[in-house]
């Protein structure tokens, strides 16, 4: 994707920029969507084999004929894009200071298949709580980085970007922005990064919040309680029926990458399935998530598959 610079900020080693996907890439997406080859429909009457054909075809039809990427692009540019190079990698982040100088800096880390977009609807309310009936004491300064290889962050060319390494990069980012005291929040993969930050206790980190706690309890002794039995059953079900995507991404990412990089329908289905499953929409067979919100995230993944920087 082409990224157009708007000039360096006053902060050392931090570059502000705006992005605009070239129109020929948008046109190419539409051509690929129109030329999609569809598989046969699922052989069951539920979500158990993945995204049903009729649901994905409806999503793709809207992506091709009703969805407006320029709206999402403008929203992201209004928030404020930045890059900074940390540990040999260009890290992208959104930086949205509150108008309240004493606001608490909040570092937000997304997971997969999420992105910085998932936080867009809470930023204004929390950066300017007075507009929603709150007080200045409720305000936050936001720092929202893209995980390495996701969105506008550079893709690592070697392995080794562990949760611990990302956590160290985030601590450096906050130091570089001049935040001497801050809090951090994360879910999914972002919870793993935030947990590693809590363990490392970098200077300035005051507290963390997780909406996907990573716990490794000791073995259960004696007869499990009803609650423990329920948790064990859920874990067994996940391992048997719902963990295939994770195993494949962890063991054969290169092979999977060919399909995701070549087909927007393949990329869309891979991401759409997780949004449906984890929101409960897959079970209900109706989409509660706004379709444009889902496509914002899928489109960001598609348009940033191949990135080039121009000034």
Q: Where are the beta strands (DSSP E) in 39-88?
A: 81-86
Angle between the N-to-C axes of helices 264-279 and 291-303, in degrees from 0 to 180, rounded to the nearest 10: 140
Is the Cβ–Cβ distance between 306 and 1 less than 8 Å?
yes
By C-alpha distance, which of 7, 161, 20, 183 is closest to 91? 161
Is the Cβ–Cβ distance between 2 and 308 less than 8 Å?
yes
- Give the C-alpha separation, 75 to 231, whole Å: 40
Torsion-angle region of 67 (φ positive above 0: left; ψ -120 to 50: alpha; else: beta): beta
Q: What is the pLDDT of residues 213-263, one digit of tens each?
A: 887 777 778 898 999 889 889 889 888 988 889 999 999 999 999 999 999
Q: Looking at the chain, how many residues does it have?
A: 311
- Give the C-alpha separation, 27 to 1, whole Å: 13
Query: Phi and psi at residue 256, in whole multiples of 5°?
Result: -60, -35
Confidence of residue 7 (pLDDT cuts 50, 70, 90): very low
Q: Using the predicted structure, report yes or no on whether residue 97 has a pLDDT greater than 90.
A: yes
Q: Using the predicted structure, report yes or no on whether residue 2 has a pLDDT greater than 60.
A: no
Residue 245's contacts (CB-CB under 8 Å, 6 or more residues apart) are 270, 273, 274
Indicate if the alpha-carbon torsion angle 288, 289, 292, 298 is positive or negative: negative
Task: Give the CA-trace dihedral at 191, 195, 198, 203, to 10 degrees.
Answer: -60
Please report the pLDDT score of residue 3 as a whole number.
43
Is the Cβ–Cβ distance between 208 and 198 less than 8 Å?
yes
Task: Strand 89-96: give its sheet, edge to edge.
Answer: 205-210, 182-186, 104-109, 140-145, 89-96, 81-86, 14-19, 2-8, 308-310
Please report the pLDDT score of residue 307 as a whole number.
55
pLDDT (mean) for 164-193: 97
Q: Using the predicted structure, report yes or no on whether residue 4 has a pLDDT greater than 90.
A: no
**Domains defined for the chain, CATH in brackets:** 1-23+69-216 (3.40.50.1820)
Please report the pLDDT score of residue 222 as a whole number.
87
Q: What is the pLDDT of residues 118-169, one digit of tens each?
A: 999 999 888 888 888 889 999 999 999 999 999 999 999 999 999 999 999 9
Q: What is the pLDDT of residues 196-221, one digit of tens each?
A: 999 999 999 999 999 988 877 777 78
């Amino acid at each position: 994707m082409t990224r157009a610079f708007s000039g360096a900020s006053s902060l050392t080693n931090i570059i502000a920029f705006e992005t605009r996907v070239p129109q020929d890439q948008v046109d190419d997406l539409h051509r690929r969507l129109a030329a999609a080859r569809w598989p046969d429909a699922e052989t069951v009457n539920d979500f158990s084999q993945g995204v049903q054909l009729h649901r994905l075809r409806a999503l793709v039809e809207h992506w091709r004929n009703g969805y407006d990427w320029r709206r999402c692009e403008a929203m992201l540019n209004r928030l404020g894009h930045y890059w900074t190079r940390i540990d040999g990698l260009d890290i992208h982040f959104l930086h949205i200071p509150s108008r309240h100088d004493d606001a608490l800096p909040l570092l937000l880390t997304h997971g997969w298949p999420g992105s910085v977009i998932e936080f867009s609807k809470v930023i204004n309310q929390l950066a300017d709580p007075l507009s929603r009936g709150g007080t200045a004491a409720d305000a936050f300064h936001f720092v929202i980085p893209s995980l390495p290889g996701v969105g506008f962050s550079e893709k690592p060319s070697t392995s080794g970007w562990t949760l611990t390494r990302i956590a160290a990069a985030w601590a450096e980012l906050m130091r570089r922005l001049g935040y001497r005291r801050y809090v951090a929040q994360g879910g999914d993969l972002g919870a793993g990064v935030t947990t590693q930050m809590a363990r490392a206790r970098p200077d300035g980190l005051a507290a963390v919040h997780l909406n996907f706690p990573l716990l490794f309890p000791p073995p259960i002794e004696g007869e499990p309680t009803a609650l423990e039995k329920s948790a064990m059953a859920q874990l067994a079900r996940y391992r048997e029926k719902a963990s295939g995507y994770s195993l494949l991404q962890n063991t054969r990412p290169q092979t999977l990458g060919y399909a995701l990089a070549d087909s927007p329908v393949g990329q869309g289905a891979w991401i759409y399935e997780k949004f449906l499953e984890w929101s409960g929409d897959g079970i209900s067979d109706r989409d509660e998530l706004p379709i444009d919100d889902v496509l914002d995230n899928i489109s960001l993944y598609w348009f940033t598959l191949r990135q080039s920087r121009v000034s």
